[in-house]
Structure 1
Amino acid sequence: MPPPPYPLLPPPLPPPFPSPRPTSGWKPVSGGSGPCAIGPGRDLSGCDFANADMSNQDLTGATLLNAILDGAYLRGTRLGQATLTGASLRGADLTNVNLGLALFDSVDARGARLDNVSLDQTAMERSDLSGASMSRARCLGCDLTSTVLKRANWTSGEIRGASIHGMHAPSLLLDNATLADVAFLDCSLYSASLKHAQLERVTLQKVDAPLLDLAFSSLLEMRLVDTVLDGASLQSVVVNVMHLEAVKMRRANFCGAQL
Structure 2
Amino acid sequence: MRERSKQWQRKIRINKWWVIGAIATPALIGMVWWLWLLSESRLQPDGDRLSHNENTTQDHPHRETLISGMGAIVMVAGGVFLLLNFRRANRNTKTADLSGADLSGADLINANLINANLSGADLINANLSRTDLSGADLSGADLINANLSGAEFCGADLINANLSGANLKYANLSGADLINANLSGANLSGANLRYANLSGANLRYTNLSGANLKYANLSDADLNCTLLSDANLSDANLSGALLFFVNSREVQNLEPLQLQAQHKPFLCNVALPSYSHQPKLNPNRDCDRIPQLLSDRYNISLEEAQGIVNEARQHRWD
TM-score, normalized by length of structure 1? 0.68
Q: How does 1:11-90 map to 2 (within 5 A)?
A: 46-90=95-139
Letter in structure 2 aligned against 1:87 = A
**1:151 aligned onto 2:203:** no
RMSD: 2.8
TM-score, normalized by length of structure 2? 0.56
Residue 232 of structure 2 aligns to a residue whose secondary structure is strand
Letter in structure 2 aligned against 1:168 = N
Contact 2:271 2:283 in 1 (8 A): no
1:215 aligns with 268
Q: How does 1:86-105 map to 2 (within 5 A)?
A: 86-105=135-154
Shift of residue 165, structure 1, vs aligned partner: 1.2
Distance 1:56 1:170 in 2: 33
Which of 60-69 and 209-218 deviates more?
209-218
Shift of residue 199, structure 1, vs aligned partner: 2.3
2:247 aligns with 198
Higher relative contact order (CA 8 A, sep 6+): 1
Distance 1:120 1:128 in 2: 18
Deviations 1:34-82 (A, max 9, x none): xxxxxxxxx7962100011000010011010000000000000000110
Q: Closer, same or farther in 2 for the Cα pair 1:119/1:233, shift >3 Å? A: farther
2:213 aligns with 164
Which portions of structure 1, spanning 4 or more consecutive aligned residues, are displaced by more than 4 angstroms? 256-259
Residue 217 of structure 1 aligns to a residue whose secondary structure is strand
Letter in structure 2 aligned against 1:214 = L
Shift of residue 104, structure 1, vs aligned partner: 1.1
Shift of residue 211, structure 1, vs aligned partner: 2.0
Letter in structure 2 aligned against 1:212 = P
Distance 1:177 1:202 in 2: 12
Q: Closer, same or farther in 2 for the Cα pair 1:44/1:135, shift >3 Å? A: farther
Letter in structure 1 aligned against 2:250 = R
Letter in structure 2 aligned against 1:132 = A
Shift of residue 189, structure 1, vs aligned partner: 0.8
Distance 1:201 1:125 in 2: 22
**1:136 aligned onto 2:185:** yes
Structure 2, unaligned stretches of length 5 or more? 1-91, 287-313
Structure 1, unaligned stretches of length 5 or more? 1-42, 238-255
Letter in structure 1 aligned against 2:258 = V
Residue 165 of structure 1 aligns to a residue whose secondary structure is coil
Q: How does 1:240-259 map to 2 (within 5 A)?
A: none
2:230 aligns with 181
Shift of residue 132, structure 1, vs aligned partner: 0.6
Which of 44-53 and 120-129 deviates more?
44-53
Shift of residue 176, structure 1, vs aligned partner: 1.2
Q: Give the paired residue count.
A: 195
1:112 aligns with 161
Provide the identity percentage.
Answer: 29
Q: Closer, same or farther in 2 for the Cα pair 1:155/1:192, shift >3 Å? A: same
Shift of residue 236, structure 1, vs aligned partner: 7.8
Q: Closer, same or farther in 2 for the Cα pair 1:62/1:45, shift >3 Å? A: farther
The answer to which structure has the higher helix fraction is 2
Shift of residue 222, structure 1, vs aligned partner: 4.6
Letter in structure 2 aligned against 1:81 = R
| Bigger radius of gyration among the two | 2
